[in-house]
Amino acid sequence: MITQLVRALAPLGTVGIHWSLLPKYRGGSPLVWAILNGESETGASLFYLEDKVDTGRVLAQTPVSIAEHENVAHLIEKLNAASGKIVVEHVPKILQGTAASRQQDEALATYYRPRLPEDGLIDWRWPARRIYNFIRAQTLPYPCAFSNYRGQRIRIVSATVQPQSGVHVRVRAGDGGWLGLERILCDDDETIRPALSIFEKEEVEFDQ
């Protein structure tokens, strides 16, 4: 948060970029939460900073799609590009005093807390699609979703809901569907490896 004392130094106002279509997904880790919730769209919002979190008047927004195969790294790349375009287009208008802005609709506001590394523990009783979203929402550059296998923490970098024999390590989800593990990280090694190179069989059960 930027304090009011600091914001007062900017006579034209203090602006920021938030990676959601405000007022939705105010707060922390908006991209992670959007994927966890199965959203098909997010975006970048340029807005004025206020005392409260992400509540200021919105200057501009750019929607960005979330395809089913995309993970948080894809969204970071797309939103970096979208954010740059918003800044280039609208900051000159702020400096010229011609920028239009609008109040956020509080009736549509949602808030989410920041995610922590320990929030990445997978519950294999969940449906396969929920676990898939959980994995792609928290992959690199974030700490990754994880599970424990024979006492060792396994971080899952990528997975699929359409596992293929001889290609993926399969794990059964709570709804009877399957997850196919593609790439993983072991906690004692930062080398990304194919899941098949670690497990001695194609179908595994993780510790709960």
Domain ranges of the chain: 4-112, 117-197
Distance between CA atoms of 114 and 55, rounded to whole angstroms? Answer: 17
Helix then strand then coil, % of the chain, to nearest 5: 25, 30, 45
Among 101, 114, 84, 82, which Cα is nearest to 14's?
Answer: 101
Distance between CA atoms of 156 and 27, rounded to whole angstroms? Answer: 26
Global pTM reads: 0.93
What is the per-residue pLDDT for 208?
64
**Regarding the domain delimited by 117-197, which CATH topology (the fold level of the hierarchy) does it fall under?**
Methionyl-tRNA Fmet Formyltransferase; Chain A, domain 2 (3.10.25)
pLDDT of 195 strictly over 90: yes
Among 59, 41, 68, 38, which Cα is nearest to 101's?
Answer: 59
**Regarding the domain delimited by 4-112, which CATH topology (the fold level of the hierarchy) does it fall under?**
Rossmann fold (3.40.50)
What is the per-residue pLDDT for 2?
82
